[in-house]
């Protein structure tokens, strides 16, 4: 009698037929991010399990054969180890920093030993943007080569934006390129630095002047790690969330306005949603323009003056997000002065930044002194810089602008003109 399974009915050996079907479908099954077991479970329970699995679904950065998943995971150590194990590495090399190693290092190393392979070498960096230098990359590469790295090795960058920048850059240059996994532990690195494949270090006063485009094989972000982030670093990451909202997600901006208190209290569920939406904005733009020849420049909203202010302060006086916040305020004023930015929208953004504890008083900053660093901006083309202006919240565009004109507009913005 028919069992209602057309692909099995009539098969002389049903078990052999099941094995054939499993082999044929294995590559598709492997792409699934969750498995829902239904044996002996009621339909209502199955539905609940499916909904929970859907809520935990990964985001994808679609780049052809360089595509990868970004997973927001409750257990960051185990999920990062699973991501590494899925790559079947010959060896695993961890790049982290002193703070992350002290707080989260042991669980990660235990998870690697249990789920993948014990780390062949661990490079522990000195934390801070001022240490994002070629010497740090050399230290990581030396440790990997001394431990016998080959081209099937995987680098796991476990830390904030400085760590993922250095770890990814080391992976891109080790033996002319090996795979790497990003396990960001700060809000800024979760929503920005770890996604998109930009890697690199600073050289002199030039931020990210030496680097590569080298996409990770996977990204695993764990909001639980944010519980140990300092208030200043956490707020710095929020600047990049606001930036994402300004670029392409007005609903995210409205959510931040409504729930600012819960955001600052680090509500886990809300943080996961902020991270997911911010990554979705970046992933969509990177998918259109991986190497920043066009739309990807939108992700630099607030960064032109922001990077200059960071450089002027020796990468110590201002945190990255603080500089970006000030840079966004400046460009909102520039946009208003040019008649391209809705003034009410600009006011909303500035109020939100202030509500989140970020600096907005560009008048108090040494803008004139910082302008000499504009020529180091990577978006410069000859004597022009591709600046990013906002029409309205969720709508931005790139406008090439001569350096001298941009400098003049920024000086006026710093003086309070808008």
Annotation says 307 is catalytic? yes
Annotation says 292 is catalytic? yes
Does a structural domain hold residue 263? yes
Residues 326 and 184 in one domain: no
Residues 19 and 75 in one domain: no
Does a structural domain hold residue 37? no
The string of DSSP letters for 311-351 reads HHTTTTSS-HHHHHHHHHHHHHHHHHHHT-S-HHHHHHHHH
The mean pLDDT value of the chain amounts to 93
Q: Identify the pLDDT of residue 292.
A: 86
In the set 277, 303, 348, 378, the catalytic residue is 303
* Count of H-run helices and E-run strands, the chain: 17, 12
Residues 277 and 382 in one domain: yes
Q: Identify the pLDDT of residue 15.
A: 86
Does a structural domain hold residue 135? yes
Q: Identify the pLDDT of residue 52.
A: 67
Residues 16 and 66 in one domain: no
Annotation says 176 is catalytic? yes
Tell me the pairing of strands 68-72 and 121-125: unpaired
Residues 317 and 372 in one domain: yes
In the set 71, 132, 179, 198, the catalytic residue is 198
Does a structural domain hold residue 329? yes
Q: Identify the pLDDT of residue 7.
A: 79
Annotation says 49 is catalytic? no
In the set 132, 158, 214, 240, the catalytic residue is 240
Residues 79 and 188 in one domain: yes
Residues in the chain where the model's pLDDT stays below 50: 1-2
Residues 75 and 7 in one domain: no
Residues 206 and 275 in one domain: no
Residue partners of 303: CB distance under 8 A and separation at least 6: 324, 327, 388
Can you give the CATH number for the domain in which 399 is found?
1.20.1090.10
Range of the domain at 22: 1-28
Residues 7 and 88 in one domain: no
Annotation says 198 is catalytic? yes
Residues 288 and 400 in one domain: yes
**Rounded Cα gap, residues 145 and 140, in angstroms:** 9
Annotation says 240 is catalytic? yes
The string of DSSP letters for 248-267 reads H-HHHHHHHHHTHHHHHTT-
Say what the pTM is: 0.86
Does a structural domain hold residue 381? yes
Q: Identify the pLDDT of residue 1.
A: 44
The string of DSSP letters for 159-183 reads ESHHHHHHHHHHHHHGGG--EEEEE
Q: Identify the pLDDT of residue 14.
A: 82
Can you give the CATH number for the domain in which 172 is found?
3.40.50.1970
Does a structural domain hold residue 152? yes
Annotation says 300 is catalytic? yes
Number of domains observed in the structure of the chain: 3
In the set 296, 333, 378, 379, the catalytic residue is 296
In the set 99, 129, 214, 300, the catalytic residue is 300
Report the candidate in 361, 364, 368 with the shortest Cα–Cα distance to residue 411.
368
Does a structural domain hold residue 239? no
**Rounded Cα gap, residues 171 and 154, in angstroms:** 8
In the set 179, 214, 235, 320, the catalytic residue is 320
Annotation says 33 is catalytic? no
Does a structural domain hold residue 241? no
In the set 179, 277, 307, 348, the catalytic residue is 307
Annotation says 303 is catalytic? yes
Annotation says 378 is catalytic? no
Residues 80 and 222 in one domain: yes
Q: Identify the pLDDT of residue 370.
A: 93
Residues 320 and 384 in one domain: yes
In the set 229, 292, 310, 322, the catalytic residue is 292
Q: Identify the pLDDT of residue 23.
A: 80
């Amino acid at each position: 009698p028919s069992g209602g399974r057309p692909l099995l009915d009539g098969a002389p050996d049903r078990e052999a037929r099941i094995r054939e079907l499993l082999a044929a479908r294995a590559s598709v099954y492997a792409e699934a991010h969750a498995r829902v077991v239904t044996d002996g479970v009621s339909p209502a329970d199955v539905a609940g399990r499916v909904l929970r699995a859907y809520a935990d679904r990964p985001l994808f950065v679609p780049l052809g054969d360089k595509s990868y998943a970004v997973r927001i995971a409750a257990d960051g150590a185990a999920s990062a180890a699973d991501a590494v194990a899925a790559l079947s590495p010959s060896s695993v090399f961890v790049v982290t920093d002193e703070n992350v190693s002290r707080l989260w290092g042991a669980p990660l190393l235990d998870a690697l030993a249990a789920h993948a392979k014990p780390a062949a070498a661990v490079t522990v960096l000195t934390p801070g943007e001022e240490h994002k230098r070629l010497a740090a990359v050399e230290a990581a590469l030396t440790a990997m080569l001394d431990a016998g790295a080959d081209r099937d090795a995987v680098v796991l960058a476990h830390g904030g934006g400085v760590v993922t920048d250095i770890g990814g850059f080391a992976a891109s240059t080790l033996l002319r390129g090996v795979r790497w996994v990003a396990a960001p532990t700060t809000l800024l690195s979760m929503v920005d630095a770890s996604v998109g494949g930009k890697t690199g270090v600073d050289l002199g006063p030039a931020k990210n002047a030496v680097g590569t485009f080298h996409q990770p094989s996977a990204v695993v972000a764990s909001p639980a790690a944010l519980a140990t982030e300092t208030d200043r670093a956490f707020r710095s990451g929020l600047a990049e969330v606001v930036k994402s909202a300004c670029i392409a997600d007005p609903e995210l901006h409205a959510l931040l306005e409504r729930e600012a208190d819960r955001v600052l209290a680090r509500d886990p569920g809300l943080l996961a949603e902020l991270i997911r939406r911010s990554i979705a904005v970046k992933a969509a733009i990177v998918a259109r323009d991986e190497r920043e020849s066009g739309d990807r420049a939108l992700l630099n909203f607030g960064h032109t003056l922001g990077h200059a202010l960071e450089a002027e302060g020796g990468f110590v006086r201002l945190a990255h997000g603080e500089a970006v916040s000030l840079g966004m305020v400046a460009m909102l004023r520039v946009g208003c002065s040019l008649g391209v930015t809705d003034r009410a929208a600009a006011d909303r953004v500035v109020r939100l930044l202030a509500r989140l504890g970020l600096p907005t008083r560009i008048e108090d900053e040494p803008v004139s002194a910082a302008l000499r660093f504009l020529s180091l901006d990577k978006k410069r083309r000859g004597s022009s810089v591709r600046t990013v202006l906002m029409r309205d919240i969720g709508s931005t565009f790139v406008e090439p602008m001569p350096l001298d004109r941009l400098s003049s507009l920024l000086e006026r913005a710093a003086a309070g003109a808008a």
